[in-house]
Amino acid sequence: MNPGFLYHFGKFVQWFPQIFSKPENGRMYYKEVVRQMYDIGVGSLMIVFVISIFIGAVTAIQFAYQLGNSFIPPYYIGYIVRDMAIIELAPTFTCLVLAGKVGSNMAAEIGGMRQKEHIDAMEIMGVNTSSYLVMPKLIAALIMIPVLVSISALISNFGGYLASVATGYYSHSEYVQGLRSFFVPWNVVMMYVKAISFAFILTSVSCYQGYFVKGGSIELGEASTRAVVYSDILILIADYIIALVLTV
């Protein structure tokens, strides 16, 4: 593996604990958490809504295609859409997209502050900038991203409904029967484990990329891109590991 990765991993491990120090002023941190929750949550609702409709719709159409004239009962379509969304597509797809939206935004915001010496200015005042700039984002993401993923899972089922029932291929009662069949609560646990892990990955990777940016606007752009690419890769690796560990 390339030494650049090990270098950054070591630097990250050294830096990360500094995020968890006692806030200089609880109110300022709280205000920042609320602002970030709004940015991440409300700011991403629209995109989550759109991708979730398509997640459900495409799953339904693809499944219907594979179903063809087989012996599998048609009501399975609701069941398949539901479980595909909960187990894999809602958490993973949403977080991959959020890495692009929220992660790159975090990297650019913090990186810009680094380049404009805002971080130095805060350090001179005595602020622990690792903590003040990252901890609120992390808390906000750990709360809001699971919420967004839940919404995504819900809307995916609606997207599947649109594609299968509203188009007349399946009946309302078939789809709903499927939705109500074979429900395994454990899958929901798995969804939240994924959502929380992915939220953690995309926030910490993106903030790290921004916090240690050097140079000028080109480097800032690169850092923002790296935030997305590395977050995405790590999310997929984590997805695989979680799937292995939680399904045995």
Entry field: residues in the chain: 248
Query: Cβ(136)–Cβ(39) under 8 Å?
Result: no
Which region, judged by CB under 8 A, interacts with other proteins, from 24-32, 41-49, 141-149, 210-218? 24-32
Q: What CA–CA distance (Å, rounded) separates 30 from 181?
A: 42
123 binds other proteins, rule: CB under 8 A: yes
Is 8 a residue that touches other proteins (CB under 8 A)? Answer: no
CB of 25 to other proteins, least distance (A): 5
Q: How far is the CB of 105 from other proteins (least distance, A)?
A: 14
Shortest distance (Å) from residue 139 CB to other proteins? 18
Q: Which is nearer to other proteins, 3 or 126 (CB)?
A: 126
Q: Which of 117, 184, 237, 245 binds other proteins (CB under 8 A)?
A: 117
Residue 1: exposure state from Cβ atoms within 10 A (0-12, 13-18, ≥19): exposed
For 125, other C-beta atoms within 10 Å of its C-beta total: 9
Residues 137-176 that bind other proteins (CB under 8 A): none
Q: Compute CA 104 distance to the chain's CA centroid, rounded to the nearest angstrom.
A: 12
CA dist., res. 205 & res. 218, Å (int): 19
Size of the site for other proteins (CB under 8 A): 16
Residue 7 CA neighbour count, 13 Å, CB half: 4
> Nearest Cα to 81, choosing from 160, 134, 173, 171?
160
What is the nearest approach in angstroms of other proteins to the Cβ of residue 12? 17
| Of 144, 116, 108, nearest in space to 36 by CA | 144
* Segment contacting other proteins by CB under 8 A, of 85-93, 114-122, 137-145, 178-186: 114-122
3-state helix, strand, coil in the chain (%, to 5): 85, 0, 15
Q: For residue 158, which of 139, 179, 173, 174 has the smallest C-alpha distance?
A: 179
Contact between 25 and other proteins by CB under 8 A: the answer reads yes
Binder of other proteins out of 9, 10, 18, 233 (CB under 8 A): 18
Q: How far is the CB of 218 from other proteins (least distance, A)?
A: 19
Residue 11 CB coordination number (10 Å): 12
Q: Is 126 in the site for other proteins (CB under 8 A)?
A: yes
- Which residue in 13, 125, 218, 248 binds other proteins (CB under 8 A)? 125
**Cβ proximity to other proteins, 5 vs 38, nearer residue:** 38
Binds other proteins (CB under 8 A): choice among 62, 128, 177, 225: 128
* Cα–Cα distance measured from residue 232 to residue 50, given in angstroms and rounded to the nearest whole number: 20
- Comparing CB distances to other proteins, the nearer of 115 and 164 is 115
Q: Which residues bind other proteins (CB under 8 A)?
A: 18, 24-25, 27-28, 116-118, 120-121, 123-128
